[in-house]
Structures are given as C-alpha cells and as structure tokens.
Amino acid sequence: MGKQTLSVDIGGSGIKVMVLDEKGMALTERDRRDTPQSPSPSAVINMVKELAATKEFDRVSVGFPGVVRNGITETAANLTPEWINFDLAAALVETLGKPTRVINDADMQGLGAIAGIGVELVVTLGTGFGSALFINGLLVPNLELGHHPFRKGETYEQQLGRAALEQSGKKQWNERLQKAIANLQHLFNFDTLYLGGGNTKFITIELPPLIKVVPNVAGLLGGIALWKD
C-alpha cells in the first residue's frame, strides 16, 4: 500500500484535510471545518486533531497561510499573533504522533498544480492573497507577494483579499484582478499563472491563455510533494 499522508490545508476561513496514497491520489473525501473564530495555535491544532481522529495515515503535510521556515511559522496575517515563531511541525508531531512537514499554503497548492516547466507563478485568492513561484519545478519559498504594494497605497491582499471583495463588490474586484495579472506578467514574465483559492469562483473577466484556474483540492494534493526528497 505504501505510506499514507494526511494532507492539511489551514486557511483563514476553513481548515481542510484529506488522506493521500503514495502517488498523491485521494483515499478519503475532503473534510472541511470553519477556522475557529479565534484561530490560536491550540484552537487550530485541536481542530486538526478532531479532523484526523477517524483517519489512518503515516505522516502529515501541512499548508499554512504565512512564511514557514523549518516547520516554524514566522508570519500569520490572517490568524493570531501567537503564531509568530511557533513550531507548528513539532506541535503536530506531539499531537498526532506522526512525522510532519509544514510549508506555506500557496507553495503547497503550487506543488499540486504546476507542470514543472519554465517560470510558473501561483496565486491563491482566499481570505488573503497567497503566492508561490517555481522555476522548472523548483520552488522559490516564502514569496509572500500579497504584502507588497499594489495600487493606491495598498497591498495586493488589501485590494484583492476576501474583505476587499465583500467591501468593493465583484465588478471592482475583477477589475483589480485584471490589473494585478498585468502587473505580475510584467514582473515575472511567467510561462503560466495558476489561480487557486475559494474566491476564483467569483472571476468574471476573460483570462489570457497563459492563465489556468486550479481546483481548491490542489492545496491538499500538493501535500504528497513535501515527502519527495
């Protein structure tokens, strides 16, 4: 059977889990719960523990919405301040009793979506604005484009995150997205741009041929790639 991986996607609005086989094929349905109202490390870890309780797995892969280095979460703009410099990998090893690897959530989504050819940029449109960059399949980690200046003195996340979508409406959000895509094309000269995350369902603009919308499940399917040494 090979090793089974519990893939976990921690987001600002939802926490998702799924078990994958060694080839990255789903062995279970995707389970989802709303992220706790106060998403502290203990609250999120307890929710992951509950979601994992009925599942069999040998190891754990986690996508986290922030900068992650050696399993430690360094930023967490859409969660709580307790996440800064929190050893999430060690905490999950202790809680779940299995080897655990943690990576930025957009990086993990990218690993589940890319073709591994040329310059590939991944942008996740969810609570925040996640990003990942790959060159011939190699990850440039912790890009965090969302917090870079975009327009009108605001960042990509401030202009294109969920709060901005709700405040400005779909029409204006789509216009901003079109400008962001043009910006990113000039900046990275990408071969492919992948758009993921829950808010892709609100895209109404016609997307250029270099752009692909990827299903939300890619954020979990990328979990298998964390164990390809």
Asked if 9 and 94 sit in the same domain, the reply is yes
> Hey, how many other C-beta atoms are within 10 angstroms of the C-beta on 215?
12
- Are 102 and 167 contained in the same domain? no
Q: Based on the domain organization, do 122 and 79 belong to the same domain? A: no
Residue 156 has pLDDT above 80, yes or no: yes
Q: Tokens for 172, please give them.
A: 């204006």
Q: What does DSSP assign to residue 210?
A: T
DSSP annotation of 77: T
Q: Residue 70: exposed, middle, or buried by beta-carbon count in 10 A (0-12, 13-18, 19+)?
A: exposed
Q: Can you give the pLDDT at residue 142?
A: 87
pLDDT of residue 229 exceeding 90, the answer is no
State whether 11 and 101 are in the same domain: yes
Torsion of CA 30, 11, 109, 17, to 10 degrees: -20
Q: Which helix (H) or strand (E) holds 110?
A: helix 105-111
Do residues 213 and 203 touch, judged by C-beta distance below 8 A?
Answer: yes
Do 100 and 12 have their domain in common?
Answer: yes
Query: What is the per-residue pLDDT for 186?
Result: 97
The mean predicted confidence, pLDDT, of the chain is 95
Tell me: pLDDT of 93 over 80.
yes
- Domain range for 126: 116-213
Say whether both 17 and 98 belong to one domain: yes
Report the predicted TM-score, pTM, of the whole model to 2 decimal places: 0.93
- pLDDT for 5-33, tens place per residue? 999 999 989 999 999 999 999 999 999 99
Query: Do 50 and 137 belong together in one domain?
Result: no
- Could you give the number of structural domains in the chain? 2
Give dist(CA 107, CA 140) in Å, integer.
9
CATH number at residue 12: 3.30.420.40
In this structure, are 60 and 84 located in the same domain? yes
C-alpha pair distances (Å), 115 with each of 25, 52, 64, 121: 17, 30, 22, 11
Residues 10 and 102 in one domain: yes
| pLDDT tens string 95-142 | 999 999 999 999 999 999 999 999 999 999 999 999 999 999 999 988
Whose tokens are 């094929």? That residue is: 25
Determine the 3-state secondary structure of 33 from DSSP. strand
Confidence of residue 3 (pLDDT cuts 50, 70, 90): very high
- Cα-flanking dihedrals φ and ψ of residue 68, to 5°? -125, 130
- Statement to judge: residues 103 and 125 lie in one domain: no
Q: Is 87 in the same domain as 129?
A: no
Whole-number percent of the chain with pLDDT over 70: 100
At 1, the pLDDT band (50, 70, 90 cuts) reads low
Do residues 124 and 94 both lie within one domain?
Answer: no
Express each pLDDT in 56-88 by its tens digit.
Answer: 999 999 999 999 999 999 999 889 999 999 999
Neighbours of 38 (CB within 10 A): 11
Take residue 186 and report the two structure tokens written for it: 């000039």
